[in-house]
Each structure stands twice: as C-alpha cells, then as structure tokens.
Structure 1
C-alpha cells in the first residue's frame, strides 16, 4: 500500500507539471497594449464598423491642422483670420466716434487701419486703444465692439491752457505744463503766451496769482519768464511791467495805486520797473524820450538867451 501510494504521488506531480506548462511560461501584456491588440484584432476580423469616407475626412483634417500650424509659425494667422471672418459678414462698416474735438475721424480710421475689409472679430481692442492713446490730443481712449459690423470709439482729449514759446518754436501746453504738440493754426491765438525757460511749468501758478487783478490780467498779451526767477508782463499797449521775484502782490498794489491816481499805464511809456520795494522806475517810450529831449534843449536855449540879455 505504501508503495502504491508513493507511486501514485509521484505520478500526480509529474502529470501536473506536464498539464499546465502555459500557466508558468505565459507573458501578460500591459493593460493599454491589451486594448490596442484587441482593437486591432476586431478591426482585422471586421467586427469594428468603419464609416464611409473616413479616410478622405481624416486626410483633409490632417492637411487642415498642418496648414494652421504653418500659418501660425509663419505669422499669417491674423491675416487669414481677418479674411475669413470678414467674408463671413463681420467686416467693420460703421465707426462711431465721440469725444473728439481736436482729433479728426480720418486720423482715427487711418491709425486703426480700417479699410472696409477689417474684421470685427479679429480686431485687437487693446492694441487699438494704445494706438489711439498715442495721438497728440488724446488723454484716454476706449474702443468697444458692437457686433456684427460696428465699433465705438470714445475719446477724452487734453485741454489746451496756453502757448509756450521756447526759442523759435511755439507749442500748446496743458495746465500742468505738459506739451500737447506744436502750434499749427491760429484758432488758439486767444490763449495766453508764455515765453522762456520753465515758463510752461510755472504758468498756471502765476496766472492763478494774478487772478486777483482781472483788469490787469485781461491786458496781458505775453508772460515772459526772466532767468527762471521772475516775470515780465507785456501789455496790449506795448508797456512792459517788470515784476519782482518776491512780493508780486505788493508790487501790483503799487501799480494799481499809480494807475488810479495818475493813469500811469495810459501814458507814453515803455516800461514800469517794480522790482524794488522802495522805488518805482518809469521808462519812457522812444517818442516820449525824443520829445522830452527837445523840450529840455529848448529850455536850455531859452535860459542861455535870458542869461545873455541880463
């Protein structure tokens, strides 16, 4: 019995080894590869249905992707997108501009490059706003799309405060002294004229200081900054008022008193020097000086004659 039992045990082990060799030697594919293999087998056996013309569609799709990539690399994407969206009915046909007093609509259209074929979809709003903000008169610009074919441009323009003469050049300036641009026409001729170095930055403060003397301010035709320290006022009748560096209000009070008592500014004078606190110097005009010299000469002759006779 023990011999039979031993043989039977040995025979079972040998039989098991021969019956299941694949369990020990088989290699298992990773799960993603198994799915691919199963799909390939199904495709080969006809169990997967392929729609008609899928090859043609795939070819055109591949060519489209390659074309888009090529346009992107070559920098032609914007041009193509402009052409496609414009032809689809999004070409800009109406531009509404508001807030432009000094800026012409023609300049706006040219700057934005709107030629009737520009696409509203492809228009870069931020780039357009920056371009408009670079115009001389524009302080702030806003651009808005109104589909399908309209853009709205809203401007806030700078305000001209005066004219600044520096050398031979004339420039329009804001109240804070910032230069708007060169003076190109006469429609701003009524603005006050400021002349000299740093006159543009000191102009508003000095005009404010002069606001308490409106009758005098209305007669000023030019504010001349002298050596970056003080002002000369050129009046409408040619008289020059030389103001001090300090104590401008006291000097104007003296001038106002002389004008009230003697009508000083209506006389034949060239300048009034108010720079010194203790005295006021009057400079006669050339004509008045010549007449004065003639009178003095006649008086001298008369005195000589009177001395001889005596």
Structure 2
C-alpha cells in the first residue's frame, strides 16, 4: 500500500507534506492620508462650557444681555425730541380718555353730620369743580385738609357708585368755655379748640375756665366740675394759676385753692367738710387746700370786722386798713392842704 501513495515517496517517514501558507504583504504607507480629528474640546471651549454652567452667567446671557440691547435700542429711539413729544402726547391722550369716561365722573357731593359753616367750608376745599373725574380728587389729601378745621373731629370720604362723593363728618362737641387774653373760645372734652365766641352769653350753659394753659388741662378741669356736684350751682368757673394748678371760683367772691397734685381728692374733702359744717355758707373768702395736712381759711371782711368789734378794735376796709385811721389821715391831709 505504501507503494501506491505517491506522496510518501522521498519524504521520509511523514505522510503528506504540510500546506504552504502565503504571508500577505504589508501595504505601503499612504503619504496623503488626513489626520484623525481629536474629539476632546479645546481649552477655550472647555472654559466657555464651564462658565455657562454658572447661574449668574446664564442670567446675564439670557436676561441681562437682551434687556441691555432693548434698553439701548429704546434709548436711541427716544433720543429724538420729536419722537418723545409724540409718544408723550399719545399716552396723555389715552389716559385722559380713560379717566374722563362716564363711569369715573363725580357729579355731586353729599355731606352728613356737618353744621352749615362746616358744610360750606368742606365744599370750598374741593380741588376741582364738579362734575370732575374721580382721578382728579385725592381723597387722602382732601381728608387731611378737612381735619385741619377746628370743628371737625373725624371725616369719612368715599366715592359711591353713581358719581356721588360722600362725606360723613363727626364734629367736635364744645363742653367748656376758655377765657384768655385773646378772647373766649369753645373747647371740646380733650381741650381742642372748636370755635371762637364774642361773649360768654353766647353759650351760657357751658362752664368757663380761665388762664394761660387752661386748654391743655381741660380734661382735669372737667373732672373737677363733675366732682363739684353739690356746689355746682354756685360755681362760676375755674382759673389756671401759673399753668400748674386750679382755683375754683364761687359766687360771693369765694375761692378754693387746690393743690397741684391730687386736686380732685382735695375738692372732695372740701365738699365733705361743707356737708358736715356748712363751711361754704359762712363768711369765708378763701379756702386754701394746697397743703393737705394744714388747710388755711381766710375770713371775709364782715367776719373780720365782727371779730375786731368783739375785741374792741377798729373795723377795717377792703384795703385792709382801719376805717378810723383812714378817715383821720384823710382829714389831716385836707387841713394841711387848706
């Protein structure tokens, strides 16, 4: 069988010869091939991308830059005086047409709770003549002007449907008369001026206070008047002394001097003493209560003369001098002159 195998001859002990493998030849290097592009970003692109990640930079780019460009364009357009005048005129015309529409017009004014004098003054304070646009009436400024009136305590201003300007006025109620060097004025319970009067007879139903600074202490004076209930028919008024304290003036020339502090308590003690001993019915000119521990009483002229007659002393006149001495001195002077 070996003789029949032609590949066995001359090849030794082996069988078939190994197949021959051909090694491919290396291609020749291309001289004109383009270089491959690097996918990594450049240094400038990297920095720009990192910068755009900041919120502030994004706001500047997306909002600030367009706003700046728009402002610049608007400024350039408005730099022309004719364009500005046309724009202002157009805007004013539009605003005027809107403000003077029928639903914004005020046609009449109603005032409640005001006296004729305050009513007339309030109508005179309107900044425009009716009918007028509600945009031309500043209610806050008008309220401030109305409150400057002495007789007005509060005012409620509002524009009602139908073009009606409504004013609800609360006037001050005068409760006391204040006599001072410049005249007589009406005051409310807080001491605020209400009006001036020519004489006390205009409001004879009101008590009267006198003296500089009495208006500032009007609440205290009203409390004293309320406490003087039993002697109220005899009360003629209160006088402010030195802008510190009060004197109660009664009829028959009697005067009660009250202390600077705790005047109400001192008056109550004096009224209690009068109830017990009828002190105010006696001939007493002055009751000094300025010292709580030692009240002082000054007798009237008749009581003093009665005591002097009982002691055998000469009577005194209103000037405090003895009547006989005054007559003798007068007679001697007459003889000397003759």
Report the TM-score range of the alignment, normalised by the length of the smaller protein: 0.5 to 0.7
Within the candidate set 292, 300, 307, 1:284 is matched to 300
- Deviations 1:62-98 (CA, angstroms, capped at 9, x unpaired): 99x84963996xxxx9xx959x949x69764432112
Q: Residue 214 of structure 1 aligns to a residue in which SS?
A: coil
Deviation at 1:269, TM superposition (A): 4.5
> 8 Å contact 1:258–1:264 — kept in the other structure?
yes
Residues 206-225 of structure 1 mapped to structure 2, 5 A cutoff: 206-208=221-223, 211-225=226-240
Mark the runs of 5 or more structure 2 residues left unpaired by the alignment. Answer: 1-81, 315-338
Residues 182-221 of structure 1 mapped to structure 2, 5 A cutoff: 182-183=196-197, 187-208=202-223, 211-221=226-236
> 8 Å contact 2:228–2:267 — kept in the other structure?
no
Output the TM-score relative to the length of structure 1: 0.55
> 8 Å contact 1:224–1:232 — kept in the other structure?
yes
Counterpart in the other structure of 1:126: 140
- Deviations 1:202-249 (CA, angstroms, capped at 9, x unpaired): 331354356444213453222112223322101244321122345643
Counterpart in the other structure of 2:249: 234
Q: Residue 234 of structure 1 aligns to a residue in which SS?
A: strand
Output the TM-score relative to the length of structure 2: 0.52
Q: Residue 120 of structure 2 aligns to a residue in which SS?
A: helix
> 8 Å contact 2:176–2:186 — kept in the other structure?
yes
User: Which of structures 1 and 2 has the larger relative contact order (alpha carbons within 8 angstroms, sep 6+)?
Assistant: 1
Question: Of Structure 1 and Structure 2, which has the larger fraction of its residues in helix?
Answer: 1
- How many residues align? The count is 227
Deviation at 1:279, TM superposition (A): 4.7
Within the candidate set 91, 109, 113, 1:95 is matched to 109
**Of 242-251 and 229-238, the range deviating more from structure 2:** 242-251
2:154 maps to 1:140: yes
The change in CA–CA distance for 1:183 and 1:284 in structure 2 (over 3 A counts) is same
Counterpart in the other structure of 2:183: 169
Query: What is the CA–CA distance in structure 2 between the aligned matches of 1:236 and 1:97, rounded to whole Å?
Result: 44
Query: What is the CA–CA distance in structure 2 between the aligned matches of 1:272 and 1:102, rounded to whole Å?
Result: 46
Q: Residue 184 of structure 2 aligns to a residue in which SS?
A: strand
Counterpart in the other structure of 2:23: none
Query: What is the CA–CA distance in structure 2 between the aligned matches of 1:197 and 1:213, rounded to whole Å?
Result: 22
Q: Which has the larger radius of gyration?
A: 2
Counterpart in the other structure of 1:296: 309
Query: What is the CA–CA distance in structure 2 between the aligned matches of 1:175 and 1:297, rounded to whole Å?
Result: 50
Query: What is the CA–CA distance in structure 2 between the aligned matches of 1:197 and 1:148, rounded to whole Å?
Result: 51
Counterpart in the other structure of 1:154: 168
Deviation at 1:254, TM superposition (A): 4.4
